[in-house]
Structure 1
């Protein structure tokens, strides 16, 4: 994945696509920061986690910019999200998340909200980068509660 990002960065630089170059450099910087924090090279799953976090941060920024009356800055953040999401696996829809939650509950034998950690652990292991775990957490609580 990192090699693809680097190749795309070079291509964007040659094409003069400033928005794409800036976003890809931000991705590389975030990955390097995660590696420094981990004190070793990170695997693709960790890269996906970093990029998912970047998308979440940008969505929060869009909300704040929209509430603050700055649609121009919100548009820049939305463009960055589009570039970052091109590297992420396709996100699961609500029905697929519900099915995955039900399967994880059955797999772990979870019976109450106390078992939520087990279920979330299974979901994170199987569906890293493919689902919004905040929504999945709410679904698990609803199913177990």
Structure 2
């Protein structure tokens, strides 16, 4: 079962269970996936769906920080609830040791020697960590190693 089918199946379960937060969040995810499929005129694979879900989590984390700065804790809590639902469909996050090992292996794999090779390293590493780690933090770690 691919990830889109899994989302649809979980949507049906949430509908039966009358879980409004889960149902609404899954519907938002499916709508975002469908929008990209319509725009590109192709069916998304699991890797592309993971990218959409990861982007949704990032957007919600940004919203949480803005809501908390504005003192709107009820809205921040609603966003946090949506993040927890979306994260159930993402693979388990990588530990710091696993990330460091992947970075070292990828640097050796592409033969990166300087900061000019950072794009090659990120390009090779992105599919391995998609949805499992923050690419911004990984980019900083790669930059530190290549300098």
- The TM-score, its normalising length taken from structure 1, stands at 0.97
- Which residue is 2:28 aligned to? 26
What RMSD in Å do the two structures reach over aligned CA positions?
0.9
In 2: Cα distance, 1:127 partner to 1:62 partner: 24
Deviations 1:15-68 (A, max 9, x none): 111111100100000101121222211100000000000000000000000111
In 1: Cα distance, 2:56 partner to 2:28 partner: 9
Residue from 58, 63, 66 that aligns with 2:65: 63
In 1: Cα distance, 2:38 partner to 2:88 partner: 25
- Which residue is 1:38 aligned to? 40
- Which residue is 2:18 aligned to? 16
Q: Which runs of 5+ in 1 are unaligned?
A: none
The equivalences for 1:1-145 within 5 A come to 1-145=3-147
Q: How many residues align?
A: 145
Partner of 2:112: helix, strand, or coil? Answer: coil
Partner of 2:67: helix, strand, or coil? Answer: helix
Partner of 1:90: helix, strand, or coil? Answer: coil
Partner of 1:72: helix, strand, or coil? Answer: helix
Partner of 1:87: helix, strand, or coil? Answer: coil
Partner of 2:90: helix, strand, or coil? Answer: coil
Q: Which runs of 5+ in 2 are unaligned?
A: none
